[in-house]
Amino acid sequence: MADLPGESAPPAEPPHDYAALFVVERARLNDLLAGLHGADWQRPSPCPGWSILGLCAHLLGDDFGLLARHRDGHYGTPPPAGATESGFVAWLDEMQAEWVGASRRLSPRLITDLLQWTGPQIAGTFRREDPRARTASVSWAGPGPVPAWLDQARELSEYWIHRQQLRQGLGRPSDLRADLAGPVLDGLRWAYPYRLAQAPSQPGDTVTVAVTGPVTETWHLVAAGTGWRFDDQPGTRTVASLAMSTEDAWRLLTNNLTAGSRSDLAVSGDGAIIGVLFRTRAIIGEPKWA
């Protein structure tokens, strides 16, 4: 979708039908899990301390939490009031570890059956939401409310990323088909305008981020008086550029790119801005390898 002039915050109009995309994502997860055998479930995943089965239990917990909040309006595990970002991350990690630990009583069949049961309900919940309503909060995109579609994009990316981690743990390559990888990156990119606000800039300064196949995109972030915005064309002066593959793009933006792989990224320009680009994450928490 072409960016609108002066687009410094996510527009109200959703760029994709995220409910339909979630149906595709869940079908691919179900297909992956249907092909697993006994020993596969106990293989370690890239998530420290979690096996393939443990990571699937985490996905099931995500399903239950999403349905409780979005469908039922139930917030049974509110974060601690006034928590800093690091405090929130610590609370979230503890809650997720507690859930995965308790889920050890569930067999692979139970978990796969439950994921098949919850999937259609999540898609239905997304369909009933107004994607244009600025009622959502996505902390890595900014402190203010954002359209509900970006929250749906965040949720889709959570499941898509974990499926890539499952594939990695099973010794399989990432599934980078553009029908899902493109919309995932289209959501993750909204971390850039917010994080670039940390860097000094002059109106017209431009940061160009180029992603190459299977998803091929070029994003021009142009500085304006009110922050950085996505534009179809670069501004008057390019101050930094970053070029990377689709594989490296999703990994960099989600803390899944190792320190050694950073050398594969093509960068040029202002060192402070490049530092911001390397640190930008479309998730909460700090980079693990910075």
Cis peptide before 214 (omega within 30 of 0): yes
Worst-scoring range by mean pLDDT, 145-159, 185-199, 225-239, 272-286? 272-286
Task: Check pLDDT > 80 for residue 7.
Answer: no
Cα–Cα distances (Å) from 132 to 3, 17, 69, 152, in that order, read 16, 12, 18, 11
Q: Which of 76-85, 90-99, 207-216, 268-277 has the lowest mean pLDDT?
A: 76-85
**pLDDT tens column, 31-66:** 999 999 999 999 999 999 999 999 999 999 999 999
Mean per-residue pLDDT, 226-233:
94
Q: Is the pLDDT of residue 78 over 90?
A: no
* pLDDT tops 60 at residue 132: yes
**Close Cβ partners of 73 (under 8 Å, ≥ 6 residues apart):** none
Residue 249: pLDDT band (50, 70, 90) is very high
- Residue 253 is predicted with a pLDDT of 97
Q: What is the mean pLDDT of residues 252-269?
A: 91
Per the document, the length of the chain is: 290
Please tell me the distance from the alpha carbon of residue 106 to that of residue 34, in angstroms, as a whole number. 16
Mean pLDDT computed over 109-137: 97
Placement of tokens 């949720």 in the chain: 155
CA distance 185 to 157: 8
Strand order in the sheet with 205-212: 227-231, 217-224, 205-212, 237-245, 266-269
Please, what sign has the CA dihedral across residues 177, 180, 182, 185?
negative
**pLDDT tens by residue, 13-38:** 999 999 999 999 999 999 999 999 99
The 8-class DSSP code of residue 212 comes to E
Q: Confidence band (pLDDT; 50, 70, 90) for 6?
A: very low
**3-state percent helix, strand, coil for the chain, nearest multiple of 5:** 50, 15, 35
pLDDT at 286: 52
Average pLDDT estimate for 81-94:
85
